[in-house]
Amino acid sequence: MSAPMLQIEGLFVEVDEKPIIKGLDLELETGAVHAIMGPNGSGKSTLANVLAGRDGYVVTGGSVRYQGRDLLAMPAEERAREGVFLAFQYPVEIPGVSNLYFLKAALNAVKKHRGQDELDAMDFMDLAKEKMKLVEMDAALGQRAVNSGFSGGEKKRNEIFQMALLEPKLAVLDETDSGLDIDALRVVASGVNALRSAERSMLLITHYQRLLHYIEPDQVHVLVDGRIVATGDRYLAEELERSGYADYEKQAAQRSEASA
């Protein structure tokens, strides 16, 4: 067995001096797809942001290793260049910067980092067209400013399109299913499925189980109050759909009372 793609041990994270993640352990093998499910406020998006290296998320304990390296020691752009991709829950608008120009700059920054030749405009266009088909994205969105005036569904498709283009090793999808109608969800999911490979690991962060109808995870983790409280296969997700998070939340509350 090679080193796992991602190894999180005893992770503690604070935001504005408030503990959010409280001793999280997780291991993601190369090529595996794991889902992290949990109620609002359980720390799902915090985990995504910590992995991507966003400012304001203070790690107060534990470690995160990515392909055996200390992920937390790397600045955000280096993580990205090394193959960590975050599909944003709320993709950011960048007015005036064309989507394709932005992506060409991003792709070439990644290629440069990896010692590969940068793509010229022609080759990039060919590649972009191919990847846009994957998420059935309107070609016009390539010329428009990054996420500016995109609908919710267009923004999420754009995230998956970017992922397809940048070919990450570790993709973290933060509530990619939120705000999507059923058709858009299907398109996004089929894009994600097309990108599954033996070399690529994925972490699907979601509140609802419905995404997992379309993307079948190898494992499902339940995140409550900053900790993984249960791990299982996709049937765990189905069980959650029926019974909800209430029992887990009750246990977590008792636990924190006990420790207080």
- Binding footprint of other proteins on the chain (CB under 8 A): 52-55, 75-77, 79-81, 85-86, 88, 91-98, 100-107, 109-110, 113, 121-122, 124-125, 145, 162, 166
Q: Which two tokens stand for residue 251?
A: 């246990």
Q: Please state the closest distance from residue 124 (CB atom) to other proteins, in A.
A: 6
Q: Dihedral of CA 105/110/113/116: which sign?
A: negative
Residues in CB range of 46: below 8 A, 6 or more apart: 13, 15, 20, 21, 57, 226
For other proteins, give the closer residue by CB, 166 or 240.
166
Q: Please state the closest distance from residue 162 (CB atom) to other proteins, in A.
A: 7
Q: Please state the closest distance from residue 155 (CB atom) to other proteins, in A.
A: 11
**Cβ(68)–Cβ(169) under 8 Å?**
no
* CA nearest to 6, candidates 159, 164, 172, 232: 172
Beta strands in the chain (DSSP E): 6-15, 18-28, 33-37, 57-66, 69-70, 84-87, 94-98, 145-146, 170-174, 201-206, 219-224, 227-232
For other proteins, give the closer residue by CB, 113 or 186.
113
φ, ψ of residue 141 in degrees (nearest 5) = -70, -20
For other proteins, give the closer residue by CB, 108 or 190.
108
**Cβ(194)–Cβ(134) under 8 Å?**
yes
Q: Please state the closest distance from residue 47 (CB atom) to other proteins, in A.
A: 15
For other proteins, give the closer residue by CB, 162 or 201.
162
Q: Please state the closest distance from residue 96 (CB atom) to other proteins, in A.
A: 3
Q: Please state the closest distance from residue 10 (CB atom) to other proteins, in A.
A: 25
Residues in CB range of 241: below 8 A, 6 or more apart: 209
Q: What is the DSSP string of 63-93?
A: EEEETTEEGGGS-HHHHHHTTEEEE-SSPPP
For other proteins, give the closer residue by CB, 54 or 213.
54
For other proteins, give the closer residue by CB, 93 or 233.
93
